[in-house]
Amino acid sequence: MKTFVFGFLATVGIAVSANAAFGFSYEFSTDGGATFGNNRTLNASGGPTQVQFRVVAYATADTIVTTAEGSGPVAAFARLTGSEILTNWGSGANDDSMGLMFRGSMPQGGVQYLSSSFSNGNTIVGTTMATSFAANQLLPGSLDAYCTSAGGAPQLQWIVRTGTMTVGYTPGPRTIEFRNNTRTQNFWYHDLVVNGVRDSSIAQPDGDAIDFNGTLRVIVPAPTSLALAGFAGLAGLRRRRTA
């Protein structure tokens, strides 16, 4: 998991030797969920197309969480509240629609978006209520697997939200951005031993809070472009036959 985070940070231009960092990566997939990334392009000339999206919480290995009991290294993702925004998309216009699956991958807590709304051409998913977005608490004992003091290994990357959306046909290109709309909490567990007893309290980590927004560029080739491509293909075929 550390390798993934280091590679991810290097890809987006943050050196692993920089200050401790944590935050969220907002990603799209246009190949059925096989691969995800912050920048994707979708050809919508064939009509409405399903796209997957997800939110990944990450932290670097040197990120520290400080609570009243003391400071310790980040061990596992704990909780987030707030809402996300999908710009330039939704409300059923152009056959845009939200799929039935918009969940997190955490084992406990409120893992579903319980509301969505459309405003000024954008779709808002989730609310600032903890129970509406993600109370991603791990059950007692489950955290041992991520605490070094208990023989576990920290997990520095969590898929905390996944979903499906249908991008409808539009006459021209558009860009859909996926990012934080309102964030009220971003909590991680820490691994700390106090007087011989392991404490796994949660708080927002120390360090730089850095998010990586997702961009989906929707293109619809003009009919004239497709026609010209067809004519070019026919001309090439004719040349080969006369050669």
Q: Let me know if 159 is exposed, middle or buried by CB neighbors in 10 A (0-12, 13-18, 19+).
A: middle
Three-class SS state of 99: strand
Mean pLDDT of each 10-residue bin along the chain, 243 residues long: 50 58 97 97 92 94 95 90 90 84 55 73 78 50 86 91 88 93 88 87 93 96 56 51 53
> Residues near 41 by Cβ (< 8 Å), separated by ≥ 6?
30, 216, 217, 218, 219
Q: What is the pLDDT of residue 134?
A: 40
> Residues near 162 by Cβ (< 8 Å), separated by ≥ 6?
52, 53, 54, 55, 101, 102, 103, 104, 105
Q: What is the pLDDT of residue 82?
A: 81
Residue 50 domain boundaries = 2-242
Domain count of the fold of the chain = 1
pTM reported for the whole predicted model: 0.82
Rounded CA-CA distance 172/180 in Å is 26
- β-sheet bridge partners, residue 14: none
Q: Scanning the structure block, which residue is given the tokens 């609310």?
A: 127
* Closest-CA residue to 183 (of 167, 163, 161, 164): 161
Centre a 10 Å sphere on the Cβ of residue 204 and count the other Cβ atoms it contains: 15
Q: What is the pLDDT of residue 220?
A: 86
Q: What is the pLDDT of residue 101?
A: 60
Q: What is the pLDDT of residue 209?
A: 94
